Structure 1
Amino acid sequence: MKRSNRTVGVMMIGTMIMSACGAPAPGEDDVIRIGHLPITHAAPLYFVKEFEDELLSHGNIELVRFSSWIELMDALNAGRIDGASVLFELAMKAKERGIDLSAVALGHREGNAIVAAHDITDPADLRGETVAIPHTLSAHHLLLDEMLREAGVDYEEVNIVEMPPPEMPAALSEGRIASYIVAEPFGALGVTLDAGHVLYQSDQFCPGSCLCCALVLRDDFMEEAPELSDAFLTAYLEAGVMADAMTEEAMRAHQNHLNVDEETLSLSLAWIDYGDLSIGEAEYEHLRSRLIDMDLSDEPPAFSDFVDQSAFEESR
């Protein structure tokens, strides 16, 4: 039997608008419009924008900022933006529902801390407590499930709620939740504010990687503006290398897009890797199987139907 508390966020995908009325034709003005939330996981996009003249050989990039994943997915599915840095699992669900998207790269690797109140020292302490995640369709939900299973805690013993990431550190500090798992920099913010501590890092449950955020592009955009999409992807991969550097110039580029103090940003970046943004078939298949196991997806798209790694092949 499917667990109803795991399907709350999934059903919201069905409300997304699929009409592209009023949207410009893909690439018609040599501008690629990419959606994002203001998180450290989207950093390669920030570097493409910051160093646009240096990295982008053709066209321009417009970063479109959203306040929620649902708003971003509405715009992506309707064609109001050409692509997005988005939760991998959300993009897979959109593909499953018939939206023509391709995952062309990762946004990052690692950087998904499980932050808990100071009196929570073991996953077993979360029995009867409330844990916040950003969305049911997220790596953070999968990480929570993995941690609970390894600790022998039944999923139903924990109250799992969806919460906007910026609210999580305050909610932990005020005792409204006992733990949260979310994209950076909000995990690091909870630590630097002393609202809680790191109970676990994602690599303790997903050796090598836990696929979290992906860069996805609309297929119609790539077909109608191949020169612009190719130039953007080349710039994006170079931007990932730049985002991984802890130089003063790189820190300024991060700070221009993230409203956090230097201590929080430095801690956040210490947890994240942008060096390898390729999507491996084995790790993708692991994600597919976990989504099915958790009753979050019936038929997640196959690797060959959803993942496009041509940019990496051309860069070799």
Structure 2
Amino acid sequence: MKHSHSLSMLFISGTMMLAACNPPSAAHDREVIRIGHLPITHAAPLYFTKEYEDELLPGYELELVRFSSWVELMDALNTGRIDGASVLFELGMKAKERGIDISAVALGHREGNAIVAGHDIDSASDLEGETVAVPHTLSAHNLLLDEMLRRAGLDYDSVNMVEMPPPEMPAALAEDRISSYIVAEPFGALGVTLDTGHVLHQSNEFCPNNCLCCALVLRDDFMEASPELADQFIQGYLEAGQIADAGDAEALEVHKNYLTVDEDALDLSLGWIEYGDLEIREDEYSFLQERLVDMGLSDDPPDYDDFILTDYFDEEEES
């Protein structure tokens, strides 16, 4: 895929910083980009970029850095210990609001945010007074909870919202510690295939054009110091999304290389997710801004033009 513009042109002044900020790999003598992620299907374009590294990142190396929590990942991103991350969109927005110089360059996926509930829960109104788990207050999952309750005529405070690590949620539902959870995949599908719960709703029932959930963000100082690598990585990431979206047996095997989950759950999970369209559109972003302000989760969310790098999608539209 050839583009008429690139980050090489945008950040050419930073090339002299390259060796100091991003040393070559000792093993392969290749320049390395370090990207953080949690082991979820929503980070799949990263997995496919790594699997097809020789074709998508010729001359460079992608190092995937796995984290067990969003807190740990954001600390590494904010302090510059990694060059970028697949992260909850809302956490990235909050980091930008607090002065961290990062930019969102693409989505991680579309759809794939199921609201899973215990078998005794038939509707959102049944959740009144019950405990519902989300992975983080600053997440599309928390926004989905609020949207679902509002449409059921309930206040947000009518349930007990708790933050919980995604891998714990299916067990917590099975043990009646929670009545429902909203989370990234494959943990929603896992609750279904284990028969601890059922899908109460899917995200596309509540959000126009999808609730933006996860995004690929890169540190601005990395892009300025390593423009050619950043350019190649973003192009490769978008191509990897197309490969992931094929959903064939080969794609399934790539997921299994990075996710330790039952194959039935993985199959179900991937049926809910799309990777082919990773553009961050302004109308979708504006909806997210409004909801974060309405819920009191953000006072001054970053403007679209200040946070979203649109160059690659603009080029595709022009070509």
Q: Shared topology, TM-score over 0.5? A: yes
Aligned length: 293
Structure 1 counterpart of 2:131: 130
- The Cα RMSD (Å) is 1.0
Structure 2 counterpart of 1:272: 273
Say whether the 8 Å CA contact 1:58–1:227 is kept in structure 2.
no
CA offset at residue 186 of structure 1? Answer: 0.2
The percentage of counterpart residues that share the same residue type is: 72
Counterpart-to-counterpart distance in 1, 2:33 and 2:82: 8
Structure 2 counterpart of 1:172: 173
Counterpart-to-counterpart distance in 1, 2:165 and 2:287: 27
Question: What SS does structure 2 have at the residue aligned with 1:266?
Answer: helix
Question: What SS does structure 2 have at the residue aligned with 1:292?
Answer: helix
Counterpart-to-counterpart distance in 1, 2:166 and 2:55: 33
Counterpart-to-counterpart distance in 2, 1:206 and 1:233: 27
Counterpart-to-counterpart distance in 2, 1:269 and 1:207: 21
Counterpart-to-counterpart distance in 2, 1:155 and 1:233: 38
1:197-252 CA-partner distances (Å, limit 9, x unpaired): 00000000013211000000000000110000000001000000011112111110
CA offset at residue 25 of structure 1? Answer: 4.6
Unaligned runs of 5+ in 2: 1-18, 25-30
Counterpart-to-counterpart distance in 1, 2:130 and 2:66: 33
Counterpart-to-counterpart distance in 2, 1:199 and 1:27: 46
Question: Which aligned segments of 4 or more residues in structure 1 are displaced greater than 4 angstroms?
Answer: none
TM-score of the superposed pair, with normalisation by structure 2: 0.90
CA offset at residue 314 of structure 1? Answer: 3.1
| 1:125-274 equivalent positions in 2, closer than 5 A | 125-274=126-275
TM-score of the superposed pair, with normalisation by structure 1: 0.91
Letter matched to residue 38 of structure 1: P
1:12-51 CA-partner distances (Å, limit 9, x unpaired): xxxxxxxxxxxx9543321000000000000000000011
Structure 2 counterpart of 1:313: 314
Unaligned runs of 5+ in 1: 1-23
Counterpart-to-counterpart distance in 2, 1:80 and 1:74: 8
Question: What SS does structure 2 have at the residue aligned with 1:223?
Answer: helix
Counterpart-to-counterpart distance in 1, 2:295 and 2:156: 10
Letter matched to residue 36 of structure 1: H
Say whether the 8 Å CA contact 1:114–1:187 is kept in structure 2.
yes
Structure 1 counterpart of 2:118: 117
Structure 2 counterpart of 1:63: 64
Counterpart-to-counterpart distance in 2, 1:25 and 1:179: 48
Counterpart-to-counterpart distance in 1, 2:112 and 2:167: 16
Say whether the 8 Å CA contact 1:230–1:311 is kept in structure 2.
no
